[in-house]
Structure 1
Amino acid sequence: MRWQGLIAVPVVLGAGFAAVASSPATVAATEHTEPVAVTAADGSTGVGVLPADPATARPVRGAGSTAPDPAADLPPAVTVAPGQPSPVLAGEGPLAIPELVLYAYRAAEMQLAISEPGCVLPWHLLAAIGRITSQHADSGRTDVLGTLTTARVTPGTGRLGPMQLPPAVWSQFSTDGNADGAADPQNVFDAALAAGTWLCSDDARLAEPDARARAAARFDPSPEFVSNVQAWSAAYEKGAAVSPGIVVPPPMPPAVPARPNTVDVAETVPAPAVEPDPAPAPVGATPPAAPAVEPPPAAPVLPPLPCLVPALCPAPAVP
């Protein structure tokens, strides 16, 4: 599964959330004084932690519901070229996921990779279901632990929280996904892990698209819902795989061409040997005598040449 630059959420959350007071099981509104400003999918600002204004009522499709057909809300085509910012990680756009909610999906995927390795649950399947059921926890309106500021309970069906889990499913698969010491269906970490555990039950194997379609049908068996989940899941998977940037290596310096018919003199002429300086004589010592210089050898004396032509020979000396 392709993903760039994500943190190990279960470890971080387990260490950080254990030190924070746990939230109650049903939260109507929680006050936040330091929200992080980022544009969410619905035009509001925040990254998983938003001011505690009540969320706009959004009907959930199901038995007896008058909510619009989910097939009418399909994802856009992912046309971002490699090297451009990821539309899933960006803070705006139809494919953007609030940061804390994205961490919840990823934390559930990593936890189930340990507890249910044969299931191979992808985070983007949970993201697709969470997008359709609650618009990613009401576009990230949660407290710092991931609990909805406005609790979600669907009239008639009683489905709970950001993943809209049936009450019987939550009762069977409830879990503490953020290590705060409480299991809360209104918490996006708890709900995402419970939903993933439900989808992986009965020895489910979700590596293939057909298996993921059968898993989505557990939430709503209508062909429109299943098709929409598949479309959003594929869009999130492709959008998250977009590189956040291209790293361009620095240009190499140009090579200096060698001149033809040239010889490196330093390689052909050996360097002269350097003799070490003699050790200094001790103080008060008599300097050594200079060595005697021998005279050069004398040149040999040659005998006189005989005169071979009498007319040219000099007269003999008179005694």
Structure 2
Amino acid sequence: MSRHLARGPVLAALVGTAGMFAVTAALLLQSSSSGEAQVVALTMADPVTTATAAPTAVAAGDVPGGVTSSLDRPRADAVWVNSMSARLGVGQAAVAAYANAALRIGVEQPACNLEWTTLAGIGWVESQHGTLGGNELLHDGTTRKPILGPALDGSEGVGAIRPGADDTTAHGNTDWDHAVGPMQFIGSTWARWGADGDGDGVSDRADLDDAAYAAGRYLCADGYDLATGTGWSAAVFAYNHSDEYVASVLATANTYAERSG
């Protein structure tokens, strides 16, 4: 059974194999603590993988608490965000959320080699970056309408999960839990991996800034190297135990990497 039981809509075309589109761009990062800018090269590449036989994920390890680097919350330059938004056809708020999360994970867990295009691939498959069904992603990372997955009532394709009090507050169902937000986190997963991605003092799975950072923490929790095909596949499979899901995220992430050049 998947640790991340919520399953988003599978919207991207399935692939058997995919090429790796490696594009490097210079991002101007603004340190949130020192105010000093640094130029950092971010490789926008996703690994080649067949996504056929998904490996079994090992138990999640704890993400190191606290960030000691002065770049504790690096931010992608607005000019870069605007350029990527135009090239990819993805809203600026979504591009910023994915890039900022990947840059922060790069400070905290550099060996993971998480790229922002991987988060973008997941965000598209889960909720079309918060726009599924005519919804709208607002500038603060929240959506115009709440995003709720189906009731996790044990019916075909979903687990049976009872909600806690906080979960019922989030989605209104007293009987069954639902995945919530643009990255589709269930309550128990959010309780462990949820975090404040945008520094507003609130950890909110309905906010893409927070959810993208939490997704990065989750993907990197088991020590996978996402610069390798096997590591990337295993990490995404751990997020949702479905080969079809992994293939869809791969196709989308590779498309974004190609277009970002």
Q: If the TM-score is normalised by the length of the shorter chain, which range does it land in? A: 0.5 to 0.7
The 3 A distance-change label for structure 1 pair 191 and 234 is same
Aligned Cα RMSD in Å? 2.7
Match of 1:144 in 2: 139
CA contact (8 A) 1:146 1:189 kept: yes
TM-score, normalised with respect to structure 1: 0.48
Secondary structure, aligned partner of 1:8:
strand
Amino acid at match of 1:89: M
TM-score, normalised with respect to structure 2: 0.58
CA contact (8 A) 2:219 2:239 kept: no
Match of 2:246 in 1: 226
Match of 1:107 in 2: 100
Amino acid at match of 1:182: V
Counting only pairs closer than 5 Å after superposition, residues 1-319 of structure 1 correspond to structure 2 as: 2-4=23-25, 6-8=27-29, 11=32, 89=84, 91=86, 95-138=88-131, 141-157=136-152, 158-240=178-260, 242=261
CA contact (8 A) 1:9 1:103 kept: no
Q: How many residues align?
A: 167
CA contact (8 A) 1:124 1:237 kept: yes
The 3 A distance-change label for structure 1 pair 100 and 148 is same
CA contact (8 A) 1:10 1:178 kept: no
Match of 1:288 in 2: none
Secondary structure, aligned partner of 2:179:
coil
**Greater share of residues in strand:** 2
| Residue 5 of structure 1, CA deviation | 5.4
The 3 A distance-change label for structure 1 pair 177 and 10 is farther
Larger Rg, first or second structure (1 or 2) = 1
Measured against aligned partners, the alpha-carbon deviations of 1:208-249 in whole angstroms (never above 9, x if no partner) come to 122111111123322221111111111111211x2xxxxxxx
Measured against aligned partners, the alpha-carbon deviations of 1:20-45 in whole angstroms (never above 9, x if no partner) come to xxxxxxxxxxxxxxxxxxxxxxxxxx
The 3 A distance-change label for structure 1 pair 179 and 134 is same
CA contact (8 A) 2:130 2:147 kept: no
| Residue 188 of structure 1, CA deviation | 0.5
Match of 1:293 in 2: none
Aligned partners of 2:197 and 2:247: how far apart in 1? 28
In structure 2, the gaps of 5 or more residues are 1-21, 36-82, 153-177
Secondary structure, aligned partner of 1:177:
coil
- Larger RCO, structure (CA 8 Å, separation 6 or more): 2
Amino acid at match of 1:4: A
Secondary structure, aligned partner of 1:148:
coil
| Residue 206 of structure 1, CA deviation | 1.2
